[in-house]
């Protein structure tokens, strides 16, 4: 059954009256009866924290700045990489190598110098997430990894903050609004990320954008919708996506809606050790590790090989001085696009079900690689648990290999 659209009261009280300059600048908002001068004053009085200055954070930050949101927090600890420029349009070529929070802050202020930009150049952890998010009215999650998504979602629930959430992968995307403590008397359900996805997937089972790819312009579509949800919540305009998930299939150019029943009536609490009460190592997000029961943690001892070490071992193997197997656990289309000479294609699924390991001698040393090192780490753990004597993971995957002098020389 579809969830009927419902409204919520404005999240933020209006600030002081707009100046003549502001009335001109934001006139197209003021003309909208659902926003008007009061709504624009609410936007100027709002404090919004955007977690992640990447593909989704880029359009969100720019549109919130243009809309006149008074204070915008930017949380990110990463640096701009050349691979980001395909979709993270807030960063420029000249920003490569700079902290994302710095280039994002400059772009926001260039868009609107009246915005108060607060930079949080930190990696969010259990011991700092409440302090970072607690000073805001609303949280926008534009992150790209499951541990941080659950960390932000649980903190937002504890703090009672509405949480605009988006996810994008390849040609598919989802957008919704979570709120574990909606206003008393409102008809919206109390919902959280764990109502949509109760536990994070096991590492390696869901490729990241770095491993699976993402269509760049989709970030603009999805981020713009997320920014719209922020403005609606702040001003009370329209019906926010609470209890409803907007799903995009970009290849079919089709949006559709999925209802979400809420069970998050109580905010998620945190125990003295930083975990959810009753949580297990399989579902806790405090350390970012979620292991499955089929691989005992004590058995999964995996070594690490850096590109220079791999190059030396490949030379030694060619000279008959080293005997190891180099496994590429990516998909066939990835292997066809770029590969390391001598690597045997063995997709991760065939490692997980054992079919790709049948012809391998477990006594031989193995080096495993994927695109960035996530899937290969998972594969290496499986192989160690199945009795392989020595398994090393290529640190940083083929991306690090291609960027290394050894990889560049081998091309």
pLDDT per position as a tens digit, 344-393: 999 999 999 899 999 999 999 999 999 888 889 889 999 998 999 999 99
Considering the candidates 96, 209, 385, 410, report the single residue annotated as catalytic.
Answer: 209
Contact residues for 394 (Cβ-Cβ < 8 A; gap 6+): 305, 306, 307, 310, 367, 368, 369, 373, 376, 400, 401
Exactly one of 370, 379, 383, 384 is catalytic; which is it? 370
Whether residue 76 contacts residue 53, with contact meaning beta carbons closer than 8 Å, is answered with yes
Residue ranges, CATH 3.40.50.720, the chain? 20-259
Per-residue model confidence (pLDDT) at position 151 = 96
Q: How confident is the model over 141-190, as pLDDT tens digits?
A: 999 888 999 999 999 999 999 999 999 988 999 999 999 989 877 778 89
Residues 398-409: pLDDT tens digits? 988 988 887 766
- How confident is the model over 22-45, as a mean pLDDT? 96
How many CB atoms sit inside 10 A of residue 99's CB?
17
- Whether 219 is a known active-site residue: answer no
Pairing relation of β-strands 138-141 and 254-259? unpaired
**How does the average pLDDT of the chain come out, rounded?**
86
| 383 or 285, higher pLDDT | 383
What CATH number should be reported for the domain whose range is 20-259? 3.40.50.720
Residue 272 pLDDT grade (very low, low, confident, very high; cuts 50, 70, 90): very low
Every domain range in the chain assigned CATH 3.40.250.10 = 297-410
Q: 297-410 domain in CATH 3.40.250.10? A: yes
State the pTM of this model.
0.72
């Amino acid at each position: 059954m579809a969830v009927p659209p419902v409204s919520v009261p404005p999240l933020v009280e209006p600030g002081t009256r707009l100046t003549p300059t502001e009335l001109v600048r934001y006139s197209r908002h003021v003309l909208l009866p659902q926003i008007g001068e009061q709504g624009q004053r609410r936007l100027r009085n709002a404090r919004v924290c955007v977690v992640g200055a990447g593909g989704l954070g880029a359009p969100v930050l720019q549109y919130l700045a243009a809309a006149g949101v008074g204070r915008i927090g930017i949380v990110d600890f990463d640096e701009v990489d050349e691979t980001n420029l395909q979709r993270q349009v807030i960063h420029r070529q000249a920003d490569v190598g700079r902290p994302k929070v710095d280039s994002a802050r400059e772009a926001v202020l260039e868009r609107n110098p009246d915005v108060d930009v607060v930079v949080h150049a930190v990696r969010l952890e259990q011991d700092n997430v409440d302090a970072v998010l607690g000073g805001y009215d609303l949280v926008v999650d534009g992150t790209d990894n499951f541990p941080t998504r659950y960390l932000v979602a649980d903190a937002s629930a504890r703090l009672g903050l509405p949480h605009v959430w988006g996810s994008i992968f390849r040609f598919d995307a989802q957008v919704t609004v979570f709120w574990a403590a909606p206003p008393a008397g409102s008809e919206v359900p109390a919902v959280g990320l764990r109502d949509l996805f109760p536990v994070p997937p096991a590492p390696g089972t869901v490729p990241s954008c770095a491993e699976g790819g993402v269509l760049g312009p989709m970030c603009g579509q999805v981020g713009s919708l997320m920014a719209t949800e922020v403005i609606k919540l702040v001003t009370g305009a329209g019906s926010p996506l609470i209890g409803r998930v907007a799903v995009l299939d970009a290849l079919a150019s089709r949006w559709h809606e999925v209802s979400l029943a809420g069970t998050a009536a109580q905010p998620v609490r945190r125990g003295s050790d930083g975990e959810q009460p009753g949580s297990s190592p399989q579902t806790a997000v405090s350390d970012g590790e979620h292991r499955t029961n089929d691989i005992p943690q004590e058995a999964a001892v995996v070594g690490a090989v850096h590109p220079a070490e791999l190059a030396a071992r490949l030379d030694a193997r060619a000279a008959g001085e080293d005997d190891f197997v180099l496994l590429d656990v990516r998909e066939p289309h990835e292997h066809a696009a770029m590969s390391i000479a001598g690597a045997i294609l063995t997709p991760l699924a065939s490692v997980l079900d054992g079919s790709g390991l049948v012809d391998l001698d477990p006594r031989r040393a193995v080096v495993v690689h994927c695109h960035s090192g996530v899937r290969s780490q998972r594969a290496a753990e499986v192989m160690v648990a199945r009795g392989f004597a020595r398994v090393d993971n290529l640190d940083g995957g083929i991306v690090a290999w291609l960027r290394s002098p050894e990889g560049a020389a081998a091309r």
